[in-house]
Amino acid sequence: DAKTTQPPSMDCAEGRAANLPCNHSTISGNEYVYWYRQIHSQGPQYIIHGLKNNETNEMASLIITEDRKSSTLILPHATLRDTAVYYCIVRVGNTGNQFYFGTGTSLTVIP
Amino acid sequence: GAVVSQHPSWVICKSGTSVKIECRSLDFQATTMFWYRQFPKQSLMLMATSNEGSKATYEQGVEKDKFLINHASLTLSTLTVTSAHPEDSSFYICSARDQGTSYNEQFFGPGTRLTVL
């Protein structure tokens, strides 16, 4: 699976949009981009995933560049409960293969 | 989404003892489950892939004789840390693959914090 690069930490004001970038320049054509988050001392929580089209669900939006070498997770209106470590992972297809976690981005939402 | 539970949520044991951690998929069947370990302020590290009815596949550097994995049913996988030592103290997390979804989503358990004295 391709490696990902994320900034180690970010701050965001409560109520504002949080934009979390992820670089995956070696991604291959059959690899999906997944986003999970982990609130302190809990298991990771699924947020969203996509292949090449932008995706949106009730939690977030995922914007994938046309060349698929990077993506951005957008939390439209960040709340204090969104403070967590956010992991961007790329994985082959929908086969259910293993996830290999990178270092993630620690997002702190500031009141 | 689907629910994965772990038991116990935390455990403290003496050095040299063995500890068993259970991972259950509560409302779906999971032929594949995964075990991760997470040290403080670090990311999750995949330890092994647990397949129902067959032997687990361990990641490089993970001792299969120390971390025994059993996946005897479609809803239960167990991880046994044998002869635990203080360096095994960590946060152990399992995940289960829901084959019923269109994209085989993985759901994670809440984790088990192991402290070895």
A9-60 tens-digit pLDDT? 999 999 999 999 999 999 988 889 999 999 988 999 999 999 999 999 999 9
Q: What is the DSSP string of A52-93?
A: SS-EE-SS-EEEE-TTSSEEEEEETT--GGG-EEEEEEEEET
Q: What is the pLDDT of residues B39-73, one digit of tens each?
A: 998 999 999 999 888 889 999 999 999 999 999 89
Across chain B, mean pLDDT equals: 92
The reply to whether B113 touches chain A by the CB within 8 Å rule is yes
The reply to whether B108 touches chain A by the CB within 8 Å rule is yes
Using the predicted structure, report yes or no on whether residue B97 has a pLDDT greater than 60. yes
Question: How many other C-beta atoms lie within 10 A of the C-beta of residue A30?
Answer: 11
Amino acid letter, residue B115? T
Q: What angle (nearest 5°) sits at the alpha carbon of residue B70, between those of residues B50 and B4?
A: 65
Amino acid letter, residue B70? N
Using the predicted structure, report yes or no on whether residue B14 has a pLDDT greater than 60. yes
The stretch B101-115 carries a mean pLDDT of 85
B101: confidence class by pLDDT, cuts 50, 70, 90: low
Q: Return the pLDDT at B84.
A: 96
Q: How many CB pairs under 8 A join A and B?
A: 53
On chain A, the residues whose CB falls within 8 A of the CB of B97 are: 96
Backbone angles phi, psi at A62, to 5 degrees: -120, 120
Q: Return the pLDDT at A96.
A: 55
Q: Which residue of B has its CA nearest to A94?
A: B103
Q: Are the CB atoms for A11 and A63 separated by under 8 Å?
A: no
Q: Pick B54 or B110 by higher pLDDT.
A: B110
Q: How far is A85 from chain B (nearest CA, A)?
A: 9
Q: Which residue of A has its CA nearest to B57?
A: A98
Interface test with A, best of B33, B43, B99, B102 (most A CBs within 10 A): B43
Q: Return the pLDDT at A3.
A: 87
Using the predicted structure, report yes or no on whether residue A95 has a pLDDT greater than 60. no
The reply to whether B110 touches chain A by the CB within 8 Å rule is yes
Across chain A, mean pLDDT equals: 92
Q: Do A45 and B108 touch (CB under 8 A)?
A: yes
Rg of chain A (C-alpha set): 13
Sign of CA dihedral B8, B98, A2, B34: positive
Q: Return the pLDDT at B58.
A: 94
Separation CA B95–CA B3 (nearest Å): 10
